[in-house]
Amino acid sequence: MTKVITYGTFDLFHEGHYRLLQRAKALGDYLIVGVTTEKYDMERGKLNVIDPLMTRIENVRKSGFADEIIIEEASGQKVSDVQKYHIDIFTVGSDWVGQFDYMQNYCKVVYIERTKNISSTMLREQNKQIQKIGIIGTGRIANRFVPEVKLVSGISVQGVYNPHTESAKKFSQNWEIDFYEEIEDFFKDVDVVYVASPHETHYDYVKAALKHGKHVLCEKPMVLKKAQSEELFAYAKECGLILFEGIKTAYCPGFEKLLGIACTGTIGRIKYIDACFTKLESPNNRELTDKRYGGSFTELGSYCLLPIIKLFGIDYQDIRFESIHDDNELDIFTKVSLTYQEGIAVATCGLGVKAEGRLLIAGTKGYIVVEAPWWKTTCFEVHYEDPTQVDKYSERFLGTGLRYEIKDFLNMINGNDKSDFKLTRGETVAIAEIVEKFLAYEGRAV
Ligand code: CTP
């Protein structure tokens, strides 16, 4: 009996898939089809898959060619599958020519001619209107955003607006996109808006974008006041639009895994969280010269509050701030202490004081530690009373990580709100309230 194996995502099952399976089956007597899991696709940077795993498996089954269906959940699995299932022929479409030649050490490799003019990517793009995103702001984060958008299908960068036309022009030349001198023209041309302007301008831009019927992805901190945050969410809801705060950590796979493990009881009941993020900034940069809205906490506080709010919630009993200031009276280091019924938490952030930048989650049975840059979560460790017992976890974090939030934002626009829980409206409002309290403590009331 000749055993054949092939692999694929088989998203939005189409004629190309059908014909590939048909010819793969014809190569032998018994066909095994490996279907990729969502997690594996995510890990290898395929962020646009629409059908869930069960639907994709069901479609492969319905083709009638597969004698056995397995799931592919890790890179390197193919070699062990071929040996485990005593495979004679490994086959994939001709788009992979050369890439699986190494499998010849284990079995025969056949590349099947790919069916022309059809692919899942094509169908995804036909199915969904491509969202044209317009960027407001031209700073560092906006520059990181553009290449990440390119990695998510269904969205493309249309243009940029900045009241400083020269900056917008330069940015647009750099990224080969349009620039707009008039914001009204900008709103006319775009479907969705990314707000990456200075913090204090977010509120007006978000409101204007919603007024023009645009979904909005806004950089953190979305706004600096609780009432503004509530107002914007209520307005977005009224208009049937998505408003989304871009704290990238909340959407990256490693952070999701970390929260999952922290909540399983592995470390017992969580009692203490210590989240630190420092980044030495040049004293000439906006972050350390803007006396009203600059400083460590407005810049980095959202990151440090995130794990605390995700694990302890938004109902803290007490909150206290302590800051170290520079000659501009801006906080170059801030410590926020929160007291909850079940435990205590400390968030520290600095632009002018360097610390280790670690995230520690301590429980009644053990603790989780994530070294810097924990806000781009990749590896973390779980420790227990017995110092020799350490569980290590890792997850991929691709590029600058903005692709994960862009993908979730786009999914929400397309009616899939499965990622809603990653950063809820209530959590965004709670963070805005803490920022407001901090600015009041600093005597910089907005
Ligand atoms: N395939 C094919 N002809 C097509 C499309 C896919 O023969 N027109 C083959 C691929 O070469 C692969 C298998 O079908 O062996 C599963 O491919 P998959 O990546 O799931 O499908 P694509 O349509 O190529 O998906 P995407 O556009 O997301 O890359």
In this structure, what CATH number is given to the domain that contains residue 342?
Answer: 3.30.360.10
For residue 409, tell me if it sits in a domain: no
Q: List the structure tokens of 446.
A: 């907005």
Kindly give the distance from the C-alpha atom of residue 119 to the centroid of ligand 1, in angstroms, as a whole number. Answer: 6
Atom of ligand 1 minimally distant from the CA of 6: 15
261 and 386 in a single domain? The answer is yes
Report the pLDDT value the prediction gives residue 125, as an integer from 0 to 100. 77
135 and 203 in a single domain? The answer is yes
Report the pLDDT value the prediction gives residue 49, as an integer from 0 to 100. 85
197 and 222 in a single domain? The answer is yes
Q: Classify residue 23 by its DSSP letter.
A: H
75 and 146 in a single domain? The answer is no
60 and 34 in a single domain? The answer is yes
How far is Cα 14 from Cα 55, in angstroms, rounded to an integer?
A: 13
93 and 165 in a single domain? The answer is no
12 and 93 in a single domain? The answer is yes
For residue 146, tell me if it sits in a domain: yes
Total count of residues recorded for the chain: 446
Atom of ligand 1 minimally distant from the CA of 48: 28
Domain boundary among 112, 139, 169: 112
Domain around 46 = 3-112
Kindly give the distance from the C-alpha atom of residue 25 to the centroid of ligand 1, in angstroms, as a whole number. Answer: 16
242 and 257 in a single domain? The answer is no
For residue 423, tell me if it sits in a domain: no
For residue 442, tell me if it sits in a domain: no
φ/ψ of residue 175, rounded to 5: -105, 5
181 and 81 in a single domain? The answer is no
In this structure, what CATH number is given to the domain that contains residue 210?
Answer: 3.40.50.720
For residue 431, tell me if it sits in a domain: no
For residue 278, tell me if it sits in a domain: yes
Query: Does any ligand 1 atom lie closer than 6 A to the CB of residue 114?
Result: yes
Report the pLDDT value the prediction gives residue 408, as an integer from 0 to 100. 93
Report the pLDDT value the prediction gives residue 414, as an integer from 0 to 100. 83
220 and 92 in a single domain? The answer is no
How far is Cα 267 from Cα 384, in angstroms, rounded to an integer?
A: 8
Report the pLDDT value the prediction gives residue 328, as an integer from 0 to 100. 85
Report the pLDDT value the prediction gives residue 416, as an integer from 0 to 100. 74
Q: pTM score, two decimals? A: 0.86
Domain boundary among 353, 371, 396: 396
Domain count, the chain: 3
Query: Does any ligand 1 atom lie closer than 6 A to the CB of residue 337?
Result: no
200 and 257 in a single domain? The answer is no
Which positions of the chain have pLDDT values less than 70? 446
Q: Which of 5, 9, 110, 151 has the most ligand 1 atoms within 8 A of CB, as the residue to mutate?
A: 9
Domain boundary among 56, 82, 112: 112
98 and 152 in a single domain? The answer is no
Rg (CA), the chain: 25
For residue 152, tell me if it sits in a domain: yes
Cα–Cα separations (whole angstroms), residue 251 to 73, 255, 277: 21, 7, 18
